[in-house]
A and B are shown apart, each in its own frame.
Chain A
Amino acid sequence: MHGAAILERLRARLGTGVVETHAQCGDHTAVVERTALPGALSLCRDDPDLGFDVLMDLTAVDYQKYPGREDGPRFEVVYHLYSLAHNHRVRIKVRVDEDDAVVPTAVPLWPIANWLEREVWDMFGVRFDGHPDPRRLLMYEEFVGHPLRKDYPINRRQPLIGPRI
């Protein structure tokens, strides 16, 4: 299926759940509402014409210091989907605010989302509602803060294991 047709299908099925779409650099992208996200992801996976059976990547971007988006929703959680059968790709994004940084989990659809969502929680502090094992993935549990947030200074050091007594 062609990229534009994928976005057309998403818009037809999700209606106002799709906030905007674009095709920058040839990557077809749909930004969806948070409430429409579970529907959008399962549509992508289960619709035979779409057939996105692989969740290639799941990450987030902190737009706090992005020119023109300082006031807007701070985080974007980004899903890269790939279809083995049709050899096409799509990018799904969902925007969330800092004070309500919660996204519904995708673990029931793809088990790989377990680790990827743990990493996003670890690095950005975006929580995934319904996640079965919400621990940090790369950092240790005593670590304070979320290092990939734009307001986390790169030179901040933390003791590796708790304060020494």
Chain B
Amino acid sequence: MAEPTRREIMLGEGSGTGSGQNLTVGMGPAHPAMHGIIRILADLDGEIIRKADVEIGYLHRAFEKDCEVGGWNNAIPYTDRLNYVSPLINNFAYANAVEKLLGIDVTERCKYIRTIMSEISRVCDHLTCIGASAMELGAFTVFLYMIKAREFLWELVEDVTGARLTISYGRVGGVKADLPEGFEAKLRAAFKQTREVLDEVHRLLTGNRIFMDRMVGVGVLSREETIAYAITGPLLRAVGVGFDVRRASPHWAYDRVEFEVPTQKDGDNYSRYLVRMAEMEQAMRIAEQALAAIPGGPINVDFEGRPIDPAAYVDQGKQGKTEGLLLMPITLSPNLAGQDRKALERVNAHDKRVVLPPKETAYGSIEGLMNHFMLIMEGYGIRPPQGEAYFASEGANGELGFYVVSDGGDRPYRVRCRPPCLPPMAALHRMIEGGMIADLIPTFGSVNMIGGELDR
């Protein structure tokens, strides 16, 4: 009788000999180490994954079907829920796809705001990804630090949009509101704190032996396969391909800022970690440059004239005291009720077919009221010409594309989202097959699956 191998001593007779003793283990859909609802059916031979089948769809909520029911702007809140860690990028990419269909261009200031807010979101996304995957490897400190840093950034997002997660800040033709007062100082302070956290994390993880043992050489996907699986974003850059939509087809203000596209060459989990860490610094660099160059003057806007309360404004209008009302500035919270005319004109396209009039115009003049109704009432609204358009932006996980088809009506005929994390999930079985079951967790973490955009 042959001498038993070390493997057989450890794992029992017959393991690894193809004797059909493989054990099928279903992980998920709800599993503590699966941050996202998916199911992995793994055929285990001892601790080795021989074959894996990834099942998705547990978070499917008919995003694309829902978009066809309301007006073009009604899809914006649904896009928040695609990648719920960086919802701003989804908002802007969708809005820009519709703008492409309409053939309109947004204002310069709006382009810069979209750039700044997208980059803040990208940092949030990478912080969450690295923090969560480090936690699953036992580095709980890193998770807490990174969530702390994300908190600073989410406070910025809250300041601008009025919400932390379901922000609905983008609009077809612009953004909901201009940046608030004192934004620049807050952003600099938040970035300073985030950089400190990143520095700490670098010292905790980048050379850490335990971390490297689990990450280096694990979850490898070759360059050819990465491309064949249409994987973009940090995973593609981790195999040495410097493709970045921001660089390849610059939109918004990306052609006016300097940044690098960090790449690594090994294609393992560690390379992905390094790419993401480097990208956060680049994202902050872009946001700072864009903020320094934003047109339309400083953000601390001092509106001239005596502002009045919006409720009093509406009352005057109802009483018929409309003389001079149109020109009277009102104080509105930038986050809740919109902003005054001057601020909105700077951030929205000058196109009455698309952009809602400012509140004082809607309440203070018949033209404004009609304009408002024409955009809101069913059967009117934004009506792009018949046709189709595809717009891609660089989401945190790769190319985020929206393919929109219009039949000339006030509702989208078809909205298709190209989710950046679907291709890596389709290739996940290639990354985990042949590896240990314990390596499934860091590999799954490095893919940064976001259920909302994967299942739509």
Residues of chain A whose beta carbon lies under 8 Å from any beta carbon of chain B:
24-27, 29, 53-57, 59, 61-62, 65-67, 78, 80, 84, 87, 89, 91, 110-112, 114-116, 123, 136-140, 147-148, 152, 154
Contacts and interface: CB of A to CB of B under 8 A. Distances in A.
Contacts of A54: 227, 230, 232
B124 interface: no
Contacts of A56: 230, 392, 399, 401, 418
Identify which of A87, A116, A136, A138 gathers the most chain B CB atoms within 10 Å of its CB.
A138
Contacts of A112: 228-230, 423, 426-427
B60 A139 contact: yes
A25 B389 contact: yes
Given A25-B103, A112-B230, A138-B455, A91 B413 contact: no
Contact of A114 (B243, B401, B405, B426): B426
Given A61-B405, A112-B228, A138-B456, 20 more contacts: A25-B103, A25-B388, A27-B389, A29-B388, A56-B230, A56-B392, A56-B401, A66-B407, A67-B408, A78-B403, A89-B390, A91-B390, A110-B228, A111-B427, A112-B230, A112-B423, A112-B427, A148-B64, A154-B66, A154-B68
B426 A59 contact: no
A59 B57 contact: no
B389 A154 contact: no
Q: From DSSP, what is the main secondary structure of chain B's interface residues?
A: mixed
Contact of B403 (A59, A62, A66, A148): A59
Given A27-B388, A59-B416, A80-B403, A110 B66 contact: no
Contacts of B387: 24-25
Interface in B217-238: 225, 227-230, 232
Contacts of A147: 62, 65
Contacts of A55: 230
Nearest to B426: A115
A66 B413 contact: yes
Nearest to B59: A138
B246 interface: no
Contact of B56 (A25, A80, A114, A137): A137
A33 B205 CA distance: 54
A4 B101 CA distance: 19
Contacts, number: 97
Nearest to B384: A25
B280 interface: no
A83 to B, nearest CB: 10
Interface string B222-262: 00010111101000000001010000110000000000000
Contacts of B65: 147-148, 152, 154
B210 interface: no
A24 B227 contact: no
Nearest to A119: B422
Nearest to A91: B390
B414 interface: yes
Interface string B48-76: 00000000110010101110110000000
Contact of A80 (B62, B232, B401, B456): B401
Given A55-B230, A80-B401, A27 B56 contact: no
Nearest to A140: B57
B241 A84 contact: yes
Given A61-B405, A91-B390, A53 B227 contact: yes
A61 to B, nearest CB: 5
B205 to A, nearest CB: 30
Contacts of B408: 67
Contacts of A26: 100
A50 to B, nearest CB: 15
B56 A67 contact: no
A114 B428 CA distance: 13
A59 B416 CA distance: 8
Contacts of B392: 56
B389 to A, nearest CB: 4
B69 A154 contact: yes
B45 to A, nearest CB: 22
A80 B455 contact: no
A137 B230 CA distance: 18
Interface string B332-366: 00000000000000000000000000000000000
A25 B68 CA distance: 21
Nearest to A59: B416
A24 to B, nearest CB: 5
Contacts of A138: 56-57, 60, 455-456
A84 B243 contact: yes
Contacts of A111: 225, 228-229, 426-427
Contacts of A136: 57
Contacts of A87: 248-249
B160 to A, nearest CB: 29
Nearest to B66: A154
Nearest to A152: B65
Nearest to B424: A112
A139 B55 CA distance: 10
Contact of B57 (A25, A27, A137): A137
A143 to B, nearest CB: 10
Contacts of B100: 25-26
